[in-house]
Amino acid sequence: MAEDPVGKKLQAAWLELSVPQCGYCQPGQIMSAAALLKRNAKPGDADINQAMQGNLCRCGTYTRIRAAIKQVAEKS
Ligand code: FES
């Protein structure tokens, strides 16, 4: 991810917004977010919901995940 431009931006946003809690689900979350932003550089809430629906987070970090994706989309 760090060598991919989108992945690098997502990692920075994940850190800036303190997205992970336990971290267990986060590799899948960030990979799905990168795939979404490569398909759609400016996703709306419905696009994010659809793209991320296969990744469950028992810690409930969904709000921060959404904020991080939007932050990357707004800066791109
Ligand atoms: S951060 Fe703990 S399961 Fe998602």
Ligand 1 atom with least separation from CA of 21:
1
CA distance 46 to 16: 24
CA angle 41, 2, 21 (to 5 degrees): 85
Q: What is the pTM of this model?
A: 0.95
pLDDT at 1 over 90: no
The whole-number pLDDT of residue 30 equals 97
By most ligand atoms within 8 Å of CB, the mutation choice from 17, 24, 30 for ligand 1 is 24
Q: What is the mean pLDDT of residues 1-23?
A: 96
Residue in the block written with tokens 């690098």: 8
Q: What are the helix and strand counts (H, E) for the chain?
A: 4, 0
Largest CA distance in the chain: 30
Tens digits of per-residue pLDDT, 14-50? Answer: 999 999 999 999 999 999 999 999 999 999 999 999 9
pLDDT at 76 over 90: no
What CATH number does domain 5-75 carry, 1.10.150.120, 3.40.50.720, 1.10.10.10, 2.30.42.10? 1.10.150.120
Ligand 1 atom with least separation from CA of 23:
1
pLDDT at 59 over 90: yes
